Homo-oligomer: A and B are copies of this chain.
Amino acid sequence: MIVVMKSGTSEAKVQRMVDRIESMGLKAHVIVGTERTVVAAIGEKRDGNRETLESHEDVDKVVPILAPYKVASREAKTDPTTVEVLDLKIGGGSIGIIAGPCSVESEDQILESARAVKAAGATGLRGGAFKPRTSPYSFQGMKEEGLKLLAAARDETGLAVVTEVMTPEHVELVAKYADVLQIGARNMQNYHLLQAVGEADKAVLLKRGPSATMDEFLLAAEYILDQGNQQVALCERGVRTFETHTRFTLPLASVPYLKERTHLPIVIDPSHGTGIASLVPPMCAASIAAGADGLIVEVHPDPPNAMSDGAQSLTPKAFAAAMDQCRKVAEALGYKM
């Protein structure tokens, strides 16, 4: 890392910084510029040393050279990771489509959804059984009963079940029914939960927090990988910005940016990313064109009567049309879908 000293720092104080850096087991290298002196600390680790140096009164700023994540990086593993469960294949040139309702509401609703999304080309089924809701007065999900219905839908259709787990003590229960454990955006930095799914023997779909930086996102993945679970897919679902015409702002540049830095596959969630059903199909096609490894899309047999997220849910018909467009783009660009 590079330690930039304040303007006018004396040689004695620069020497003190050199001593400090060396006491941390690093090599110090002083560069005297025309207006500032900087000290390069060689042998940088990823353990938060940086903060310590920044608190010295003669230090203007500390600039890290290395990315803070390691196991998730392309440098650690150059070939892309593929998350694969049943027929759902995300990454390595294959685009995996996960679709279904926001919440599991009833046997009919989830079965009807599963059949419809399968017919349109999905290989994964989404559906919330444990629902994180902003208000304590909103529907909180069918819980274990919902998980059972999801498993029944898988048994009939062969779709891989992707569903959210909200707290460490539920991991075992959810893993009993699900094929992919989803970590919701609100829990991206719930470290006990990340460690718990890191120990589970299930693939994980990790959603980006609405104000998480890319480094924070990859460090959250690192918590999971660090426990030995390598089946991790990242999900960009939009970030919170000043824009209010959409529910979130969906930055598709995350796809190529992440692909340069990590071997983990990238899934896009255009439903939460926009919050408006009519914007979802063009953003599905755009995601494919940007190089996404998968999509997760909210589809409901009857959006106006959905118990949650109706405004951003596609009808089965609209979803099928969107998938047709996506397939055309995928074929044009040489991806499998």
Contacts and interface: CB of A to CB of B under 8 A. Distances in A.
Interface string A322-337: 0001001101110000
B311 A51 contact: yes
Given A213-B243, A241-B249, A249-B251, A256 B279 contact: yes
Contacts of A42: 31-34
B138 A47 contact: yes
The number of chain A residues touching the other chain, given as a range, is: 35 or more
Contacts of A214: 243, 245
A93 interface: no
A283 B252 contact: yes
A176 B170 CA distance: 24
B242 A136 contact: no
A226 B137 CA distance: 10
A134 B241 contact: no
A42 B37 CA distance: 10
A9 interface: no
Nearest to A55: B310
Contacts of A246: 251, 253, 257
Contacts of A239: 241-243, 249
Contacts of A329: 289, 329, 332-333
A79 interface: no
Contacts of A132: 189, 191
Nearest to A50: B311
Contacts of A77: none
A273 B253 contact: yes
Contacts of A178: none
Given A213-B244, A286-B287, A43 B47 contact: no
A283 to B, nearest CB: 6
Interface string A176-212: 0000000000110111110000000000000001110
Interface in A41-77: 42-48, 51-56, 63, 65-66, 68-70, 75
A306 B55 contact: yes
Nearest to A131: B191
Nearest to A66: B35
Contacts of A143: none
Interface of A: 2, 4, 7, 20, 29, 31-36, 38, 40, 42-48, 51-56, 63, 65-66, 68-70, 75, 132-139, 166-169, 186-187, 189-193, 209-211, 213-216, 219, 222-223, 226, 239-246, 249-253, 255-257, 260, 273-274, 276-279, 282-283, 285-291, 303-313, 325, 328-329, 331-333
